[in-house]
Structure 1
Amino acid sequence: MQTVDQDGNKELCEEKLNKTLKWTNRERVLVFCSRGTSFRDRHLMNDLKALMPHSKSESKMDKKDNLRLINEICEMKNCSKCLFFESRKKKDVYLWAVNTPRGPSAKFLVKNVHTMMELKLTGNCLKGSRPLLSFDKNFDRSYALKLVKELFIQIFSTPNRHPKSKPFVDHVLTFSVYDDRIWVRNYQIVDSNADAMEEIGPRMTLQLILIQEGSFGGPLLYKNENYVNPNIIRRQMRIAAAEKHLNRMEAKKYSKTQRAKAEPTFQVDPLEDVFNVDLKNIKDDEISNVDNKAAINEVRRLEKQIMKIKKRPKKKKIGQ
């Protein structure tokens, strides 16, 4: 197929046509959060938006709203993927990675969050550049992690020839599985020949909770048996602290009773200090008693003078 413009510039029209045909991946990711999200989690969300030029933003969602409403928001925004940060009790943050509107959807607990501004690392990359995605070999050991890997590839990979992207590859997003968690890091490629890298940020740790077949719902495909709710962990910590306090108080009571029951280590004569008198203390007591008597006498003397003044007869005025 060949096109020619009015001026006869054939090559220019072919380049424009090739550019429009090459941008075939129209993936758009909706990234937003619920109300009550802390400042650190909000900064993490903004860092992810900066790393994803194909992302779109939305205002905060009310906690009372049903999560299935996000499917309608994605449809209005023309987005096929979604990253939703759900906040609970202003302490715990859950990340939903969803393929809308058909699913599947994966839910993670976000821990160990460190933003770009918080870390102040030396790495840097061009805003809008396309990343390399690096996955650990442990992702191929279970079907659940294979599904999560494919979901992350479709969400975090910047489409080729995207209008907001830059034609450079200068950073790497790594996903590693360790201790039943997914560790996410972002590195700058300093020298491709020497394999030198500098960390940029942000950092976060994701613990997979469940995978559902639908979008924000549907049949349960996978559930992590090693996952423990953070509320249960905090409750156990409070119980342990209360038990520690009770044990300390009981130990104090026990030590007091044992001291009362214990016999003296050596015999003491109760009449030993009968005639030992401290003369210095006696003198101080006498001096204080003398001072008190002098003050009392002075007050009485002043009272008598006041009474005498009151009893004096008044002088008569001349002419009366």
Structure 2
Amino acid sequence: MASVYKSLSATNGHDEKERAERKNKQRVLILSSRGVTMRHRHLLQDLYSMMPHSRKEAKLDTKTKLYQLNELAELYNCNNVLFFEARKGKDLYAWMSKAPNGPTVKMHLQNLHTMEELNFIGNCLKGSRPVLSFDAAFEKEAHLRVIKELLTHIFGVPKTSRRVKPFVDHVMAFTIADGKIWTRVYQINESEPGKKKPTADGEEMDVDPAPKKKGGKPDLDVNLVEIGPRFVLTPIVIQESSFGGPIIYENKEFVSPNQIRSDLRRAKGSKYNRRTEAIRENKIKRGDLGLTTHGGRTKEKDPLSDSVLFA
């Protein structure tokens, strides 16, 4: 009995240790709707490769019954959902939700540039963990704090994930400007300081080697190199529950891209109307001044014209 008790006690202690280590279980379900373009698909692939705790699913057929995403998240054992909704093959909206209880944030994604589009020179290890950098403005308003928490749960890779690598070699920065969230991804590049220093005459002068720490390792120069992708998010609404419920925040300054395109078409149409109206008024003025006559005389009517024959 003593040996059995010891073995059970050791097993229970081991299980409690594993349970304490696996406390942060964050899994993200990434999927899109029908109608996404090639650039949108590349963005999904870039995010999926950068997030080892994510699960990728096929496209969702419906754009109205978004509550079905909660069932998909439960099937894939995910507690976060990142859904990209495409409209008219031009506009892309990002839904971020904490399944199954919420909240949910709907944002308009624009100024998209993928990794392959701009050929960024930075590179990072696939499956590594990022350092999330948030602007100080996220703490000033309540809705920004909610968005920060959702971004932390979705893009913050837990160290206990199965496919994660034990490295932290890139930074994901979120900055607020003009009421929008600007997202950038950088590689943490470490390099040894140069051993030669240029002088004022253009010649190189030998300098002392880099100072070493107590452990014997020299201090390294740390700089950031952009990797991609880059995009801009505009918050639209925040719902209380997951893909439903009352709206707890609404951005009154947001103008939909459909309204912008409609205003541009209306402006072009008004220009044409003003131009035709000016031409008609010019003809009326010339007629009132007698400038439409031939040689100071009124033009004679054609006896065979329709106005004469059928008068």
What TM-score comes out, normalization by structure 1 length?
0.72
Higher helix share: 1
Aligned equivalents of 1:101, 1:40: Cα separation in 2: 30
By how many angstroms is 1:15 displaced? 11
The residue aligned with 2:36 is 37
CA distance in 1, matches of 2:190, 2:287: 76
Contact map agreement 2:138 2:148 (CA 8 A) in 1: yes
Contact 2:63/2:85, CA 8 A, preserved across alignment: no
Equivalent residue of 1:167, what SS? coil
Distance 1:64-1:131 versus aligned 2 partners, 3 A rule: closer
**Structure 2 runs not aligned, ≥5 long:** 1-12, 192-219, 296-311
Retained in 1: the 8 A contact 2:27–2:54? yes
Amino acid in structure 1 at the alignment position of 2:156: S
Query: What does the per-residue CA deviation read over 1:127-174, in whole Å, with 9 as the maximum and x for residues that have no partner?
Result: 111000000011011000001001111110111132211111111000
- Structure with the larger RCO, 1 or 2 (CA within 8 Å, 6+ apart): 2
Q: Which of 240, 246, 271 is the matching residue for 1:213?
A: 240
**In 2, distance between residues paired with 1:238 and 1:127?**
45
CA shift, 1:233, in A, is: 1.1
Partner of 1:173: 172
2:197 matched to 1:197?
A: no
**Letter of the 2:233 counterpart:** L
Tell me how far apart the structure 1 counterparts of residues 116 and 40 of structure 2 sit (CA, whole Å): 12
Matched, 1:240 2:239: no
Residue by residue over 1:268-315, the C-alpha shift from the partner in whole angstroms, topping out at 9 and shown as x without a partner, is 9xxxxxxxxxxxxxxxxxxxxxxxxxxxxxxxxxxxxxxxxxxxxxxx
Secondary structure at the aligned position of 1:66 is classed as coil
Shift in Å, 1:64: 5.2
* Normalised TM-score (structure 2): 0.74
What is the aligned partner in structure 2 of residue 87 from structure 1?
86
State the alpha-carbon separation in 1 of the partners of residues 164 and 286 from structure 2.
78
**Cα RMSD (Å) of the superposition?**
2.7
CA distance in 2, matches of 1:64, 1:82: 15
Q: Kindly tell me the number of residue pairs found equivalent between the two proteins.
A: 252
Determine the C-alpha separation between the residues in 2 that align with 1:16 and 1:187. Answer: 38
Partner Cα distance (1:225, 1:254) in 2: 42
Secondary structure of the residue aligned to 1:213 is strand
Structure whose CA Rg is larger: 1
Say if 1:19 and 1:161, in contact at 8 Å, map to a contact too.
Answer: no
Q: Which runs of 5+ in 1 are unaligned?
A: 1-13, 269-320
Question: Aligned match of 2:254 in 218, 227, 231?
Answer: 227
User: Residue 223 and residue 171 in structure 1: after superposition, are their counterparts in 2 closer, same or farther (change >3 A)?
Assistant: same
Contact 2:33 2:63 in 1 (8 A): no
Range moving further from structure 2, 248-257 or 184-193 = 248-257
* Partner amino acid, structure 2, of 1:170: D
C-alpha displacement at 1:79, in angstroms? 0.3
State the distance in 1 between where 2:73 and 2:138 align: 28
Shift in Å, 1:34: 0.6
Q: For the Cα contact (< 8 Å) 2:43–2:114, is it kept in 1? A: yes
**1:119, distance to aligned residue in structure 2 (A):** 1.3
| Structure 1 residue aligned with 2:118 | 119
Contact conserved, 1:187 with 1:198, CA < 8 A, in 2? yes
